[in-house]
Chain A
Amino acid sequence: MPMLRDLVRKVAAKNAGPFQVTVDVFCGSAEAYARVAPALSDRAVADLFGIAPQVLRRFDIPDLHVVKFSMPRPVVQGSRRDRDMHGAQFATLLEELLI
């Protein structure tokens, strides 16, 4: 099974304010989007980020060949247990997901 990063152009993650993080999968083409979007299960993504599936929000955007996930940050940005101030490393977790 390939990793997600082998199939898409880029995965990017960023805080959306201190309490949420958003992860964008830029597939890069209609073909890659058609392969990746159905294969990315909400359950697998929620498990990866350690959150309940019901708080995961998902946007499938075929026009941009993008699948976007938004969720509450597992740890609030900058609080004592936060390890990644800008939330960018969430992308690397998703990039390495086997699909």
Chain B
Amino acid sequence: MEDCKLTTILVPSGVLGLGFSQAALDRGVAMGCDAIAIDGGSTDSGPHSLGTGQSKYSRAVCKAEWRALMQARARLGVPLILGTAGTSGTDSTVDWMYQITCELAEELGQTLRVARLYSGQDTGCVISKLAAGRITPLSPAPEIDAAAIKSMAHIVALAGAEQIQAALQTGADIIIAGRTTDTAIIAALPLARGAHPGACWHGAKIAECGALCSTHPGTGVIRVTFDQTGFEVEPMAPEAACTPHSVSAHMLYENSDPFRLYEPGGYLDVSAARYTALDMRRVRVEGSEWVPGPYTVKLEGARLVGYQTMLLAILREAHYVANAQAWADKLVTVLSARVADQIGLATGDFDIELRLIGVNAAMGALETRESLPAEVGALCLITARDQAMADEIGRLANPFLLHMPLTEDEPLPTFAFPYSPAQTSRGAVYEFALNHLMGLDTPMEVFRLDLSEVGAHADVA
């Protein structure tokens, strides 16, 4: 019976660029699968990749791992799917991975059909959707209006299973997708082949971080098989095991709700899921449910905040270590006044912040511990509207950061600058400025597909 067919997806690791065991990949290839799917990004490292449209991962590392996956794909003759290409899944990072793929196709002597799925959003189109009442905020979400949308450096929409299925239907050997949900690249094929929808999304969530759902997260490779009532998951490294605990606990990871996962067109409910050990290292899961809803996609956007310059001074003298916060507060006040007087900038055109490493640099006002360290690092972050101005404020701040006394009747201190020049230009800084859903009439409405033949014998017209 055709619709009883099992669908197996091999997931080499949680993200391209972080490594996996080649032996585990070889074992997965030997066991066979219907597709290889791997994520290429995340918002986890911050807004910079989305702001600039650049990958945060090393090109050489991504290329080496992609080579191994393209070789695995060629041996099996199944689709290779990359989601959220190049960290943020912007159109430019899709093209970055496409370029790597073209180079590898030449080097490996492969001829391939490559589908590119673009998730980048035109700001005009998003503004029209806002005007039409088709954009709704999640909680919490920044306030937005047409001007705010227009100010975004890049906006992407998270594609779901339907857009990946459209790419699969082209018959592509390789799919390089822009921003997708982490799960869609794994769930798309089993869903298209009629596997249980709750199992498809749940199994995809469990496998999306590779072997993180097993006892040995670093080994990477996971194999997940979907059928009409559930899914089974098995790590490919012999030393790793999936247990009912390791698998069910993975629903906690990076999820604000461990029982519900929202996707384009509905949500997954795992509150009735049953996790059964098939043996010492394989787990079967049944009972998860897919609840259909309106077809919406989540938007991510990054906005330019300004340009930064940083300086670092180290306080070692006990008097200054003990009074570091008072010294930092005074320094910000003095510097802000100097910038207004001597450079002539208005408040709001610049920002000076001091973070005390050794005191509360990670937690800020939330810090609950007090201690007296041997030394304190004073990290000075200066933000302005352009780099030249941030650098200029940095030069103004330099002698104060080096010498400012706590009070006027004490000798001039000299703190430690760890290198020369003391200031570093950090470039453009961005912030995430969208946490909204956008309603669509059809899944492909705001996504674009491009199919190319590439490689050694490609028919280049």
Contact = CB atoms under 8 A, between A and B. Distances in A.
**A and B assemble together:** yes
A74 interface: yes
Contacts of B48: 78
Interface string B258-301: 11000000000000000000000000000000000000000010
B254 interface: yes
Interface residues of A, number: 36
B138 A19 contact: yes
Contacts of A77: 43, 46-47, 432
A38 interface: no
Contact of B305 (A59, A80, A96): A80
Interface string B353-397: 101000001111110110000000000010100000000000000
Nearest to B361: A83
Given A76-B432, A84-B362, A64 B248 contact: yes
A61 B255 CA distance: 14
B257 A15 contact: no
B256 interface: yes
B256 A93 contact: no
A89 interface: yes
Contacts of B248: 63-64
Given A70-B256, A70-B257, A79-B432, A48 B249 contact: no
B364 A20 contact: no
Interface of A: 14-20, 22, 24, 26, 48-50, 57, 59, 61, 63-64, 66, 68, 70, 72, 74, 76-81, 83-86, 89, 93, 96
Query: Which 8 A-B pairs give the minimum distances between C-beta atoms?
Result: A78-B46, A70-B256, A16-B256, A18-B432, A79-B431, A78-B47, A72-B140, A20-B256
Interface of B: 43-48, 138-142, 245, 248-249, 252-259, 300, 305, 351, 353, 355, 361-366, 368-369, 381, 383, 429-432, 435
